[in-house]
Amino acid sequence: MLREAEQRLTRDHQDPSAAQFLLLEGHQWTFTQLVQHYRDQVPSDEWRTYQQQILRVGRGEPAQYVLGHAPFYGRDFQVTPATLIPREETEELVEWVLASVPTSEAHVIDVGTGSGAIAVTLQAERPQWQVTATDISTAALQVAQANAQRLAAKVRFTSGDLLAPVQGQRFDAIVSNPPYIDREELAVMDDSVRRYEPEQALYAADHGLAFYHRFAAVLTDFLAPKGSFFAEIGYRQGPAVQALFQQALPGATVTIRQDMSGHDRMVRVNLTD
């Protein structure tokens, strides 16, 4: 069944690895467990369900949306077309935050939380932290709240644009995976991302830099003394993002960090006082 599905996806010009992903995630198996079941006879109802899933992926729909969930930092998160699919690069952002914010009772906010993957993970990994999450999308917030409840993460959710819902509050860390794709990059984007993932979570004006400009203008109003801002960035945006934060916040330390593939992927802005 797996080999036939891989061949079908190849014929449909889709990534054949999605066939294995669907089997692993559908059963909550590791690869070793999949191998152990290779000689099992597949029940007819499971076979029909799997064929329908492969048909949808063959048409370009992301496998995570087909399943309705996606793995992130060792946990399973519900995802819908109202939320971005959490990715490995964002796990690296979470790891950076966890390693850089040692305060036992830190107050942290995830801006534009989407599925809640960042906020829920931070609170689950650091139960002593106070974690807040915002999003302008009501549909996304509903998904994030469901994920927090299922994973027993005590995250406070609030609706609104950027940091407007928490006016007057200060945070030890502000974290965000904001929209940062330049619409001029549409031609090189994956077709499934263009067709299925939410536009307002993907694209930003000013060649993808609009949200970094907005953050730079307000960080001093929302960060605690010596607080830090962390964000994911586009792989070609490192120099521009670093320059705009240094210009807006001359006293801050701005660090660009690469992902495991060697691409610029994250920025950290530390306020010195």
Binding-site residues: 112-116, 135, 177-180
Q: How far apart are CA 78 and CA 80, in angstroms?
A: 7
> Alpha helices, DSSP H only, in 190-230?
191-196, 205-208, 210-222
Which two tokens mark 1?
């069944």
Q: How far apart are CA 116 and CA 136, in angstroms?
A: 13
Residue 37, CA distances (Å) to 17, 44, 52, 236, 268 in order: 18, 16, 21, 43, 45
DSSP 8-state code for residue 210? H
Three-state DSSP class for residue 251: coil
Q: How far apart are CA 253 and CA 202, in angstroms?
A: 27
Kindly report the backbone phi and psi dihedral angles of residue 42, in degrees, each rounded to the nearest multiple of 5, phi listed first.
-90, 125
Burial of 116 (0-12, 13-18, 19+ CB in 10 A): buried
Q: Helices (H), strands (E): how many in the chain?
A: 12, 9
Q: How far apart are CA 198 and CA 205, in angstroms?
A: 16
Q: Which of 145, 10, 151 is nearest to 76 (CA)?
A: 151
Asked whether 110 and 86 are in contact (CB, 8 A), the reply is: no
The H or E element that residue 120 is part of is helix 117-125
Binding residues for substrate: 177-180
Which two tokens mark 243?
């320059």
Binding residues for S-adenosyl-L-methionine: 112-116, 135, 177
